[in-house]
Amino acid sequence: MGLITAKGLLNVLSKVIKKLSTTELERFVRFLDKDKLSRINYMDFLGKVCKVSNKNHNPFKSVISRLSYFLTQNKISSGALLKRLASASSQNTSAAPGIVGIPTNLFAEFLKQKVEKKRNLEELCNYSNMIDIDKDGFVTEADIETCIKNLPNMAFFRNGGAALTQSTFNSQAKIFPKTSRLSKEKALAVCKQIRDALAVKRM
């Protein structure tokens, strides 16, 4: 798991790095650590690249990138992963009727075991809470897919994903009040939350 051939890595790098020639990329790949079958540990490679990256390195985005790679490498969808985690858990895994959700603390433990082994659990709990877009305490398929689909979106991950530390829709009541009217101030606040949420998702 997490192994890629030198040729496979070269093909990937050739697609995403346009400023270097194929010869330069081949020389770079040639000097990477490989196992007896000339395969490269992708996760180790990614970790080293992130470690020496510039000051704009975004650890939360790195977590999402690794999670996306984990899903692709294991040929499993985010929904199937959550169902698998739910079947092995004794905790409540129903975010809503018919929706599988993994408690954020449990999802952080999964990240620690399978995706980001070198990061401490407290840090991963923080990132797990950020993945939980609506802040209902559960990581759902929609949460994961939103994060992965926004990997190219700089605004989504700005300031280490600071915008995701609080939900724009984190009211404990998931419905609008029926017995009283919204005040003008509350209505303006709701409009601002909707605008901010759309900006994060680039809509």
Encode pLDDT of 64-99 as tens digits: 999 999 999 899 999 999 999 999 988 888 878 889
| DSSP secondary structure letters along 139-198 | EEHHHHHHHHHTTT-TTTTHHHHGGGSS-TT--SS-S--SSSPPPHHHHHHHHHHHHHHH
Can you give the pLDDT at residue 121? 94
Closest CA to 144 of 152, 135, 155, 133: 133
Q: Would you state the structure tokens that stand for residue 199, as one six-digit string?
A: 């900006």
pLDDT tens-digit readout, 174-201: 444 445 565 666 666 666 666 666 665 5
pLDDT tens-digit readout, 148-169: 999 888 888 888 777 777 665 4
Q: Is the pLDDT higher at 106 or at 2?
A: 106
- Domains plus CATH for the chain? 1-55 (1.10.238), 58-166 (no CATH)
What Rg value do the Cα atoms of the chain yield, rounded? Answer: 20
What is the spatial distance between Cα 72 and Cα 74, in angstroms, rounded to a whole number?
A: 5
Number of CB atoms found within 10 A of residue 154's CB = 11
**Per-residue confidence band for 170, with pLDDT thresholds at 50, 70 and 90:** very low
Can you give the pLDDT at residue 44? 75
